Amino acid sequence: MAQKIIAGVTVDVNEEGYFTNPAQWTKDLAVEVAKEEGIQLTDKHYAVLDFLRDRHSKGEALTIRSVGNSGIVDIKGFYGLFPGAPMKKAAKVAGIPKPASCV
């Protein structure tokens, strides 16, 4: 298992940089991971991150469609918040493993 230092904190990550222990995540770490992804977090970002972390903790499958149906943001808005690869980027910033739906 690899480790990475983010904002002075050592966290467990996989070879792609996704947290392997979501309990190590904090909002301060999310800010730093988001910066690495070229994203400046807003309240809307945090709402999506909280949604993803909650769903992940319940063992539910994470998909772009589920975010679009969350009532937080529509699919177009999700792409606007996390451009390029929204589910991959959002999962990384949320401190959860890359969803199985992501290639």
The identity of residue 72, as a single letter, is: I
Length reported for the chain: 103
- Domain locations in the chain as residue ranges: 2-94
- Mean pLDDT value across the chain: 93
pTM confidence score: 0.92
CA distance 9 to 98: 21
58 token code pair: 């319940």
- Catalytic machinery residues: 102
Token code pair at residue 88: 């991959």
pLDDT digits (tens, 9 = 90+) for 20-62: 999 999 999 999 999 999 999 999 999 999 999 999 999 998 9
Does the pLDDT value for residue 103 go beyond 80? no
List CB contacts of 98: < 8 A, sequence separation 6 or more: 16, 18, 88, 91, 92
